[in-house]
Amino acid sequence: MQLDPIQHEHVLVFNNTTIFNDIIYQPELGNRHSRLKLIGARSGDWNGTLHAPGFFINEDKINVWATYTDYKKGDSVSFQGTTYVAKYAVDGSTVFDYNDWTVADNIKTGLVKNLAKATQFKDFFETDNLNLEDGVDKLGKGIIGFNEKDYLAGLGLDDVSQVKFYRGMLKQKGTGAAINKLIDAKLTNLDQTIDYFEEWAFRVGEYGSIDSNQIIETIIPEQEATNNPFVLHYHAAGDLPSTTELGHYHVQEKDLYKKPNNYTGDVFSVRDSNTNTLKDLDSAGYARLDDVDFTVFNTSELLGLSDRIEELGKGKKIWIATDDSNT
């Protein structure tokens, strides 16, 4: 029996100087960091070799363009410090023709995710296993408005903790409570304080199609809404409640949070059988002739379509210009 044992060794090489200009190891002065924290993720089914399902290795080896060398479509070369990719099969020549090549920007090297890995979309909304270096995970968490925060990464939080912390403070985002949550989290062993100054803005006007905005907003105190049913009255400027409306909740025009330009206090119209409801809803106008298949003036003319009965069928549209009341 012949056995061929194989041993794999993995080495991580760090820069001796951090981004904060700290020295990791300096034996002359006795400076060293006894522990380094590595934050990352391991691909599934990895067996310790260069085999990583769902990924491919793109080595950082780009040959310099050479004369009298034929290149295939998609071949990459380096010329005068710039990386180019062949648009099509290029025959060898003595002069580099820029028309035959496309500038290649942002070429990723190292372990690159295979675009054919469709299983990653199952974890699109997953928060317990993610990698913010991945574009798919960034888009997935962007649905809740999250983007990678430098101040959270600087506190040593991993990707999962960053997303969960942000999701927890969403309801208080933009207020001092969100900052207090960050302080109360005790993410470091140091005493920390944050001073912040709030800025307020006051709306002085509106622009746009404000005449079509018929929204009315008002604040009803919880202690006032005790009766069932609860009766609410809107009043125009200067109107006073009548003696028969005592015990009801009354809202004056000055107390409205938002109101339309044509506000009169008559929010709920009184109707009877003779009320004209034709203009209750805005109309989109007449139908487009190219959106319908048949046109008649009123319902009595529908019988005139009997000679075209073979053209009628499921999905056909008939425009009746007016109803029986000629409206």
pTM value is 0.38
* pLDDT tens digit sequence for 71-125: 998 888 888 888 898 999 998 888 899 899 998 877 777 777 666 555 566 667 7
Strands 110-113 and 55-58: antiparallel
Q: In the listed set 53, 84, 108, which residue is the last one of a domain according to the structure?
A: 108
- The 10s digit of each residue's pLDDT in 222-274 is 888 888 888 888 888 888 777 666 678 888 888 888 888 888 888 877 777 78
b/e 189-224 (16+ beta carbons within 10 angstroms → b): eeeeeeeeeeeeeeeeeeeeeeeeeeeeeeeeeeee
Count of the separate structural domains present in the chain: 4
Containing structural domain, residue 153:
118-184
Average pLDDT, integer, range 302-322? 87
Residue 145 within any structural domain of the chain: yes
Residue 251: inside a domain: yes
Domain boundary among 198, 230, 255: 255
Q: What is the CATH number of the domain that holds 88?
A: 2.10.10.20
Q: List, for residues 36-68, the tens digit of each pLDDT value.
A: 777 766 666 777 777 777 677 777 778 899 998
Short-list 150, 171, 175, 174, CA closest to 162: 150
113 within domain boundaries: no
Of 255, 281, 308, the last residue of a domain is: 255
Give the CA dihedral 232, 237, 241, 245, nearest 10 degrees: -20
